[in-house]
Amino acid sequence: MDAILAQLLNGLDKGGAYALIALGLTLVFGTLGVVNFAHGALFMLGAFCAVTLRQLITLETVVIDPEQLSAWGSPLEIRTPLAQTWFGDFGAVLVDYSVPLSIVLAIPTMLLIGIAMERGIIKHFYKRPHAEQILVTFGLAIVLQEVVKAIFGPNPISQPIPSAVRGAFDVGAMLGLAPGALTYPMWRLIYFLFSLGIIGAVFAFLRFTTFGMVVRAGMADRETVGLLGINIDRRFTIMFGIAAVVAGLAGVMYTPLLPPNYHQGMDFLVLSFVVVVVGGMGSLPGAVAAGFLLGILQSFASMSEVKQIIPGIDQIIIYLIAVVILLVRPRGLMGRRGMMES
């Protein structure tokens, strides 16, 4: 039972990342009708916002001391972090909390990147076939990842978990289980709660604000909303920016779990498309539900008991589900009737 609960928790944590990326992807598809293959790159750019901030606040002064020798006999380099020189203990706290602090940098950066991407390139492809949209956004994704590779190099750059939330949390004790029976990494729990918070905020924004209401109306019938004198294009542009922020924040908070590299966006892109297809193209609740569902299924498929029966199932389970869904219910779990069914 403990093992099942632990695996369920793991599925929810993985599903949180899938749901956040799929949510942004669906927002773009639902509003602009664009299949955005550069969405994974936005996740990656968000992750590199965290890398950038950390590199800035861990800048060091290097002084070569010819009097002292390194372990291999060369003059010793003495490195002093600037943040600690300037801010003392507060500088150390800044360095320790660099990942959550990166959210402050990521929100405006990703909003600007999203809006620039939409205004600069994607708006020219609204009326083009989906195949052309896919080609241009895929090309954009490659350009973005090569730019990141040129700046930051090809290797993953690890980001630390703040020291206060390192280690595992005894979830079992909260559920009345024996102490230590069900422990889970604290940062992964934070990520899960963070993803729930972001998903809740997006839904609340769309549901309870006038802006959101207009966007939902535009998603249902763009022309009629336009005829009412509302500049729906501007709102959709902002929604593209918001989708970029959601992907970027998912990327920022994921960095301590998996050191980011330039290719990370592509790795998540395919998965998130499968999530969107399973959830239903254009369905926001479908994207979220499918994200968590596929995360949980992938986690259970990785258990040794399951892998012994079907070796390699952990690698194909998500795609297997997608095939079944496409055959049995092409519009996805919560897709609109008629979507992808004609």
Q: Which residues bind another protein (CB under 8 A)?
A: 2-3, 6-7, 9-11, 13-14, 70-74, 77, 154-156, 158, 161, 166-168, 180-181, 183-185, 187-188, 257-259, 263, 267, 298-299, 302-304, 307-308, 311, 314-315
Give the CA dihedral 317, 322, 328, 332, nearest 10 degrees. 130
Which residues touch 220 (CB under 8 Å, ≥6 apart)? none
- Which C-beta is closer to another protein: that of 230 or that of 258? 258
Measure the CA–CA gap between 268 and 184, rounded to whole angstroms.
23
- Shortest reach from residue 224's CB to another protein, in Å: 44
Nearer to another protein, 6 or 106 (CB): 6
Q: Cα separation of 95 and 52, whole Å?
A: 12
What's the min distance (Å) between Cβ of 210 and another protein?
Answer: 40
User: Minimal distance in Å, beta carbon 165 to another protein?
Assistant: 10
Looking up tokens 């590299």 gives 261
Pick the closer one to another protein by CB: 63 or 112.
63
Q: Which of 178, 201 has the CB closer to another protein?
A: 178
- C-alpha to C-alpha distance for 239 and 304, rounded to whole angstroms: 42
- For residues 13 and 191, the answer to whether their CB atoms sit within 8 Å is yes
Residues paired with residue 184 on neighbouring β-strands, in sequence order: 169
CA-CA-CA-CA torsion sign (111, 273, 15, 302): negative
SS3 call for 78: strand
Residue 301's beta-bridge partner residues?
A: none
Given the complex with another protein, which of 241 and 260 has the nearer CB atom?
260
CB of 47 to another protein, least distance (A): 12
Q: Which is nearer to another protein, 168 or 339 (CB)?
A: 168
CA-CA-CA-CA dihedral for 315, 317, 319, 322, to nearest 10: -170
Residue placing its CB nearer to another protein in the complex, 10 or 31: 10
Q: CB of residue 103 vs another protein: minimum separation in angstroms?
A: 20
Give the amino acid at 13.
Answer: D
3-state secondary structure (DSSP) of residue 233? helix
Q: How far is the CB of 176 from another protein (least distance, A)?
A: 17
Distance separating alpha carbons of residues 254 and 54, to the nearest angstrom: 15
Q: Would you say 107 or 181 has its CB closer to another protein? A: 181
Least spacing, CB of residue 68 vs another protein, in Å: 11
Quick one: 16 or 282, whose CB is closer to another protein? 16
Distance in angstroms (rounded) separating the CA atoms of residues 17 and 15: 5
Torsion angle of C-alpha atoms 74, 75, 76, 80, degrees rounded to 10: -130
Provide the minimum distance between the beta carbon of 238 and another protein in the complex, in angstroms, as a whole number. 32
Burial class (CB in 10 A: 0-12, 13-18, 19+), 49: buried
- The CB-of-301 to another protein minimum distance in angstroms stands at 8
